[in-house]
Amino acid sequence: MFAKSFDAAVIGGSYAGLSAAMQLARGRRHVAVIDAGKPRNRFATASHGFFGQDGAEPAHMIAAAREKLTAYPNVYFIADEAVDASGQEGAFAVTLASGQTLRASRLVLATGITDILPDLPGLAERWGVSVLHCPYCHGYEFGGAPLGVLATTPHCAEKAMMITEWGPTTLFLNGQPMPDAGVLAKLARRRVTVEPISITGLDGQGQALQAVVLSDGRRLATTAIYLTPRTVMASPLAERLGCAFEDGFFGPIIVTDGKKATSVAGVFAAGDAARGMHNATWASADGVTAGAAVHHSLIFEGLDAA
């Protein structure tokens, strides 16, 4: 048991969580940041498109943000995993994997999501390097090279039409149904090649991708392949607390309002776990919103009853 109760506990120490903690720190509130050290984009070697940080390594960005937060004596970092949470507004208890319990008046869930990758030989080890999700984050560097889109949902045809902005594109159906005539016509206009034969694996030196290997023995030169993985919550805490969920583009997300408040009073959520579209900028911005909203809720707590 920690000796004191915190004004807020931020669970998750990546872009959203650290951004939320900064607002609370500057609001002179005592805040605990609980982080297990497994951010979603830990597989990527560079983060692109983030204001003033284009091309920076994600781990370095997070380390720099943590360093800035350590300047505030009212911020307490806990390198642990939050495995359970209970209670109500003003009196939450967070159980850590180490067995300790932390108490806080408010919670910010910046717990993130986990990508469920297709089971293809050579795919998982290239995730974030040459097997990718977002062309805005990882597209410019592959410009002009032969690219692929792995069909995982019917919406992947639209993704293939977009990827042609970066290079010649093949849509690998890999067992997914052939698009209808209208979609095929659009793909043709965007000069997307449709490959119906199933994939047996990805090949290349190290984490680089050089070819997609097909079941008929062909090897199609491919420098990067994009896919849309299904996602699940990286933590059970939102469900344990009773937060409402809705279906997002890729999987369930925590329902929040414009201030990032969940359906449970005193619990806020920010980052990929609480929005349909994902990137570092959105996660950080949502963290700012959540942190400021938590601070406001603490300021005005009980005033109406006074």
Name the amino acid, one letter, at 60.
Answer: H
User: What is the pLDDT, as a whole number, of residue 153?
Assistant: 84
What DSSP line would sit under 43-82, residue for residue?
Answer: G-S-B-SSTT-TTB-HHHHHHHHHHHHTT-TTEEEEES-E
Both tokens of 216, joined, read: 């008929």
Architecture of domain 118-226: 3-Layer(bba) Sandwich (3.50)
Ordered by start, the domain boundaries in the chain are: 6-115+230-299, 118-226
pLDDT given for residue 39 in this prediction: 66
Task: Determine the Cα–Cα distance for residues 164 and 244; give it in Å rounded to an integer.
Answer: 38
Report d(CA 57, CA 64) in Å as an integer: 11
From CA 85, how far away is CA 93, in angstroms rounded?
6
CA–centroid distance for 124 within its chain:
17
Provide, for the chain, the percentages of residues in helix, strand and coil under a 3-state DSSP scheme, each rounded to the nearest 5: 25, 30, 45
For residue 75, report the phi and psi dihedrals to the nearest 5 degrees. Answer: -110, 130
- What span, in angstroms and rounded, lies between the C-alpha atoms of 121 and 166? 25
3-state secondary structure of 103: strand
> Is the distance from CB of 143 to CB of 169 less than 8 angstroms?
no
As a whole number of angstroms, the distance between CA 31 and CA 251 comes to: 30
Q: Which residues of the chain have pLDDT under 50?
A: none
- Name the 3-class secondary structure at 296: helix
Give the fold, CATH level 3, of 6-115+230-299. FAD/NAD(P)-binding domain (3.50.50)
Written as one string, the DSSP assignment of 7-36 is EEEEE--SHHHHHHHHHHHHTT--EEEEE-
Distance CA 250, CA 233 (A): 11
| Residue 194 CB partners (closer than 8 Å, separation 6+) | 170, 171, 173, 178, 179, 184, 187
The vertex-122 CA angle with 127 and 48, nearest 5°, equals 20
* Rama region for 149: left / alpha / beta (φ>0; ψ in -120 to 50; rest): beta
- Find the DSSP H helices in the chain: 15-26, 58-69, 156-163, 181-189, 237-241, 280-299
pLDDT of amino acid 79 = 94
What's the rounded Cα separation, in Å, for the pair 220 and 172? Answer: 10
Domains 6-115+230-299 and 118-226 agree in fold: yes
